[in-house]
Amino acid sequence: MSKGTQLWPGDKMRSFFSAHIRRETSLDDAAAERLAEALTKAVNRMLVWKMPDDVRHTDRVEAAPEIAARHARAENFNPYLFSAIVVLAKQGRDGLIKRLQEIKSAENLRAFAEAQHVPVDGKLRRLDDIRKAIVAAAEQRLADRKAAAS
């Protein structure tokens, strides 16, 4: 028995849901996409043993140049200045928000989130919204780690 593939919210998970919905239902394309999008938003992550044949394959390699460019634009910023998870665990939500206030640009906040492995929606523009998203993602990651340890 294989270990399976872990899917996180994003294009691959959306494609997985979309392929199953199209194969198993008679919904039109628009309804199938809406349902796939809703399911993707509702599921944090999932373990899949068999991918449908008609799932679009997306490679993370394509995103690598974009990530490198984003890090290059965030010049003179160290995204590893502090650990979001450690600050959250030791100082709590308010402590993490206080530390994130030190980061003054959206580009640097995104670079920080990416380096700390706390996903942030690319559509967010306001600094406070990005900070709140980082805190929420860090809280989720910490909760996942605690749950895995128990």
Are residue 100 and residue 47 in the same domain, yes or no?
no
- Indicate if 72 and 115 belong to the same structural domain: yes
116 shares a domain with 98: yes
How many domains would you assign to the chain? Answer: 2
**Three-class SS state of 110:** helix
108 and 34 inside one domain: no
Kindly state whether residues 138 and 81 are assigned to the same domain: yes
The model's pLDDT over 6-49, given as tens digits with 9 standing for 90+, comes to: 877 778 888 888 888 888 888 888 888 888 888 888 887 788 88
Q: Are residues 115 and 129 in the same domain?
A: yes
Say if residue 115 is in the same domain as residue 51. no
Identify how many contiguous H helices and E strands the chain contains and give both numbers. 6, 2
Q: Which of 41, 58, 75 is the last residue of a domain?
A: 58
pTM of this prediction exceeds 0.85: no
Task: Looking at the structure, tell me whether residues 29 and 66 fall in a common domain.
Answer: no
Q: pLDDT per residue over 77-134, tens digit each?
A: 888 889 999 999 999 999 999 999 999 999 999 999 999 999 899 899 999 999 999 9
Indicate whether 69 and 142 sit together in one domain: yes
Helix (H) or strand (E) holding 48: strand 46-48
Question: Distance between CA 60 and CA 46 in Å, rounded?
Answer: 18
Kindly state the tokens that stand for 112: 């920080």
Same domain, residue pair 93 and 28: no
* Residue 107 lies in domain: 61-149
